Amino acid sequence: MKKKSVSSDIILKNGTKYRLDNQTLFLSGELMLPVVPEFIRKVLKRIKLQKSGDFVVNLDQLDNIDSAGVTSLFYVKRKLGDAGFRLRMEGGNETIVKKLELFKPEKFDELPPEAKIGFFELVGTGVYDFFTSYFYGFIQLAANIFYFAVADLFRKKVRRKGEFANQAVLIGVNAVLIVVFMSFVIGLVLALQSAQQLRNFGANIFIVDLVVIGMMSQMAPLITAILIAGRSGSSIAAEIATMKVTSELDALKTMGLEPIRFVVVPKLYASLLTMPFLIVLANVSGIAGGGVAAYFYLDITPEIFINRMGDVMRNKDLITAFVKSQVYASLIVLTGSFYGFRVVRGAEGVGISTTSAVVVGISLVIVADSILGLLFY
Amino acid sequence: MDKEKVIEVRNLAASFGDTVVLSDVSFSAYKGEVTIILGSSGSGKSTLLKHILGLYETEKGEIRIFGEDALGLDEDQQLHMYMRMGVFYQNGALLNSMTVGENVALPLKQHTSLPDDLVDDIVNIKLGLVNLEYAINKFPSELSGGMLKRAALARAIALDPPILFFDEPGAGLDPISLESLDRLIIDLKEQLGMSIVMVTHEVPSILRIANRIIYLDKGSVVFEGTLKEALKCDVESVRQFFSLLDDVDKAKQA
């Protein structure tokens, strides 16, 4: 006899004991959130051991219940219903009955299931979205930015005072150190890697051609652009996105200040102006890096190096580098502001915008590099 | 006094650098009551609330919540404390990257081991209580101001906390929406048996829901008592605060 009664009880960790007697479960004490997960687990396990289908949950001894408790009762009822049991609740004092009514979950309709999207629809909407929202939006923003950039060029009044210089420092001056260092290292490595091959052919002097032409026409603009896309593209996107989610952009508009003119155009000016200088610095330090490698590995003295450099340098490369600098600078500012303006949904959106701005910015720079490389071949 | 104290603050003092924000603040809030912390801007009421919530480090004084010392709790004790209180922030403070439903489900999913479909049930119920069940899959950015507040309320009561804190729930609401929000708060209080501590300065809403008033002036409590006592009180700043009500009558007569 004793053995049977012990096995019939459901005992929770905190000591609460629910008596299971003749298909009736007597609840007592409190059925609140902290004990609910355990309650559900043990009750479901316990009742499923029984054979017959009808069950009663008696609430007479229950002192208190909260929303989690009520939903758990209905949850148990539903789960047992699926397993072929029938559960009924009875009793309970006034407050318990009131709360049962208040928190009863069944009055909510299930939401209709989402329509399944087919493969062709997915591809179709993807392509359509790309053209309507990305491609068209990008072109539109570019048109707006360049319109304001050109229109404001000689109208000092509409420009934000001091902002151009401020941005030139942020985008250009502050990037000098990293640009110089990176291009020096790359020039050095470029020369080092080729030194052995050139020596095999006895073509030591051609290291100068390689480094000078390689840096000037290809490496220096590309390295600078990638560094600036990482530094400034991200910060432009983050700044504009944050301004948008905190309605600062709306505030600017209602003060009669066009956000593109006020925020983006100074950045565009600053990067268009500073990028050529950064590329020049990258060239100088990249070639210097190559020179160092040439001196130590191929015994080419600085004198010979500089002499040969004068023969190798082409004016065309200077023009190419300048055109590239302008294209890259525009692309970086454009992608940064494009993703900044597109931000949705607060903090997480700002992060997504910033990431996209950098990734797409760098990709566009590389694509543009290959196109320009073909054009100026 | 047989009423149970849910919050007891004793000799709390706080300062930012050299500026003294709170000096020697003591008061109690009782179970099942709506306690309103009042005061003009800069009187330190938000600072007081943040100290009670444990968001600021308290150096001087004593804070007891549910009779337990709320200061110097370790991580687990602090979590246990937070699970028993709901907080409603002025602008909602819903996570913008999640839907309303996910926002309400967040504390349930993180702090309990309830099955997912049971969590969904509870979320539905809580949103139903604030009449927002249709917005379960909407993002906070798609809601109006009043809806945001109700969604925030649903999140605050997700864990059925015995005590609920409000930081200026009325800010930015029109009087009619505010009235319905107040009614909702009272209903919830009755239905869930909660105690409420609220920082606000909306006079109509104070008259509707307050049981007990704490008036802060320049960082110290100048009045503590029931709403009736507050209306009859002759402390200058308190009298001035409630005399604003007479303006409506004057405007009507003019």
Residues B149 and B74 in one domain: no
**pLDDT at A4 (0 to 100):** 43
Domain co-membership, A197 together with A84: no
Nearest chain B alpha carbon to A343:
B97
pLDDT for A4-29, tens place per residue?
444 567 777 777 777 777 778 888 88
| Average pLDDT for chain A | 85
Answer yes or no: is A115 within a domain. no
Domain count for chain A: 2
Residue B106 sits in the same domain as residue B54: no
DSSP letter for each residue of chain B: --PPEEEEEEEEEEEETTEEEEEEEEEEEETT-EEEEE--TTSSHHHHHHHHTT-S---EEEEEETTEE-SS--HHHHHHHHHTEEEE-TT----TTS-HHHHHHHHHHHH----HHHHHHHHHHHHHHTT-GGGTT--GGGS-HHHHHHHHHHHHTTT--SEEEEE-TTTT--HHHHHHHHHHHHHHHHHHT-EEEEE---HHHHHHH-SEEEEEETTEEEEEEEHHHHHH---HHHHHHHHHHHHHHHHHH-
Pairwise CB contact (< 8 Å): A68 & B115? no
Are the beta carbons of B124 and A108 separated by less than 8 Å?
yes
Residue A63: inside a domain? yes
Q: What's at A185, amino acid-wise?
A: V
Q: Is the pLDDT of residue A2 over 60?
A: no
Residues of B in contact with A349 (CB under 8 A): 96-97
Q: Which helix (H) or strand (E) covers residue A89, if one does?
A: strand A86-90
Shortest CA gap A138–chain B (Å): 24
E strand or H helix at A358 = helix A346-375
A261 shares its domain with A327: yes
Please tell me the predicted confidence (pLDDT) of residue B55: 82
Q: Are residues B107 and B129 in the same domain?
A: yes
Element holding A58 (H helix, E strand): strand A54-65
Q: Calculate how close chain A gets to B117, using CA atoms only, in Å.
A: 8
Q: Give the distance from residue A52's alpha carbon to the nearest chain B alpha carbon, in angstroms.
A: 26
| pLDDT of res. B75 | 81
Q: Assess whether pLDDT exceeds 70 at residue B2.
A: no
DSSP state, residue A110 = P
B152-165 pLDDT, tens per residue?
A: 988 888 888 889 99
Residue from the list A75, A98, A107 with its beta carbon closest to the beta carbon of B118: A75
Residues A184 and A286 in one domain: yes
Whether residue A191 is found in the same domain as residue A293: yes
CB pairs under 8 A between A and B: 72
Query: Do A203 and A348 fall within a single domain?
Result: yes
What's the pLDDT at B242? Answer: 81
Report pLDDT for A353: 93
* Element spanning A57, H or E: strand A54-65
Query: In chain B, what percentage of residues exceed pLDDT 90?
Result: 4
Average confidence (pLDDT) over B171-176: 81
Same domain, B172 and B236: yes
Let me know if residue B169 belongs to a domain. Answer: yes
The per-residue pLDDT for A354 is 94
pLDDT, tens digit, for every residue of A315-328?
Answer: 888 888 899 999 99
Q: How far apart are CA A20 and CA A7, in angstroms?
A: 9
Q: How confident is the model at residue A1 (pLDDT cuts 50, 70, 90)?
A: very low
Amino acid at site B53: L
Query: What is the count of structural domains for chain B?
Result: 2
Kindly state the percentage of chain B with pLDDT values over 70: 99
Contacts of B118 in chain A (CB under 8 A): 36, 40, 68, 71-72, 75
* Facing A33 at nearest CB: one of B136, B139, B159: B159
Q: Is residue A214 part of a domain?
A: yes
Whole-number pLDDT of residue A70: 85
Q: Find out whether B10 and B26 touch, Cβ atoms under 8 Å.
A: yes
| CA distance, residue B154 to nearest chain A CA (Å) | 12
pLDDT for position A6: 42
B103, B127, B160 — which closes off a domain?
B160
Tell me the ipTM for this assembly: 0.73
Q: State which amino acid sits at residue B119.
A: V
Nearest CA distance, A67 vs chain B (angstrom)? 7
Task: Give the tens place of pLDDT for each residue, B90-144.
Answer: 877 888 878 899 899 888 888 888 888 888 888 988 888 888 888 888 888 888 8
Q: For B71-85, how does the pLDDT look when each residue is reduced to its tens digit (9 = 90+)?
A: 878 888 888 888 888
**Residue B89 within any structural domain of the chain:** no
φ, ψ of residue B144 in degrees (nearest 5):
-80, 170
Residues of chain B whose beta carbon is less than 8 angstroms from a beta carbon of chain A are 95-97, 112-115, 117-118, 121-122, 124-126, 128-129, 133, 136-137, 139-141, 159-160, 191-192
One domain for residues B136 and B68? no
| DSSP three-state, residue A232 | helix
Report, in this order, helix, strand and coil percent for chain A, each rounded to 5: 75, 10, 15
A348 — contact with chain B (CB < 8 Å)? Answer: yes
Question: Is residue A135's pLDDT more than 60?
Answer: yes
- The average pLDDT across A185-189 equals 94
Q: Would you say residue A23 lies in a domain?
A: yes
Q: Which of B117, B160, B191 sits opposite A68 (nearest CB)?
A: B160
pLDDT for A112 beyond 70:
no
Tell me which range, A20-34, A114-128, A225-239, B5-19, is most confidently predicted by mean pLDDT: A225-239
Does residue A346 fall inside a structural domain?
Answer: yes
Q: Are residues A93 and A150 in the same domain?
A: no
DSSP β-bridge partners for residue B213 = B36, B225
pLDDT at position A52: 66
Mean pLDDT across the stretch A61-79? 83
- Please give the pLDDT value at position A107: 53
The residue of chain B nearest to residue A34, with distances taken between CA atoms, is: B112
Has residue A348 got a pLDDT over 50? Answer: yes
pLDDT above 70 as % of chain A: 95
Say if B52 falls within a structural domain: yes
Interface test with A, best of B160, B163, B164, B190 (most A CBs within 10 A): B160
Whose CA is closest to A16, among A34, A5, A2, A149? A34
Contact A67 B126 (CB under 8 A): yes
Domain stops at, among B160, B195, B215: B160
- Write out the residue range of the structural domain in which residue A226 sits: 143-375
Chain B residues touching A345 at Cβ < 8 A? 96-97, 139, 141
A348: nearest CB among B97, B124, B128:
B97
pLDDT at residue A337, rounded to an integer: 94
Instruction: Give the number of other Cβ atoms within 10 Å of residue A87's Cβ.
Output: 20
Reply yes or no on whether the pLDDT at A207 is more than 80: yes
Coil, strand, or helix at residue A60? strand
Between A218 and B17, the higher pLDDT residue? A218
For B121, the closest of A105, A348, A349 (CB atoms) is A105
Residue pair B36/B185 in contact (Cβ under 8 Å)? The answer is: no
Taking 60 as the threshold, does the pLDDT of residue B1 lie above it?
no
Predicted pLDDT at A110? 57
CA–CA dist B204, A191 (Å, integer): 79
Residues sharing a CB contact under 8 Å with residue B250, sequence separation 6 or more, in sequence order: none
Cβ contacts (< 8 Å) between B191 and chain A: which residues?
98-99, 102
What value does the CA radius of gyration of chain A take, rounded to a whole number of Å?
36
Per-residue pLDDT at B41: 78
Q: What is the mean predicted confidence (pLDDT) over A269-292? A: 94
Q: Within 13 A of A5's CA, how many CA atoms are on the CB side?
A: 3
Range of the domain at B138: 94-160
pLDDT at position A236 is 94
B49-66 burial: b if 16+ Cβ within 10 Å, else e: bbbbbbeeebeebebbbb
For residue B132, what is the nearest residue in chain A, using CA coordinates? A108
Query: Across residues B173-196, what is the average pLDDT?
Result: 84
Instruction: Give yes or no: residues B68 and B112 share one domain.
Output: no
- Asked if residue A106 has pLDDT above 70, the reply is no
| Shared-domain flag, residues B241 and B121 | no
Say whether both B150 and B55 belong to one domain.
no
Cα A18 to Cα A29: distance, rounded to the nearest angstrom: 9
Which CATH number belongs to the domain containing residue B249 in this structure? Answer: 3.40.50.300
Percentage of the residues of chain A whose pLDDT score is greater than 90? 34
Q: Is the pLDDT of residue A108 over 60?
A: no
CATH code at position A98: 3.30.750.24
Within 8 A of B140 by CB-CB distance, chain A residues are 346
Q: Is residue A119 part of a domain?
A: no
pLDDT for residue A153: 83
The Cα of B23 is separated from the nearest Cα of chain A by a number of Å equal to 35
For residue A282, the model assigns a pLDDT of 94
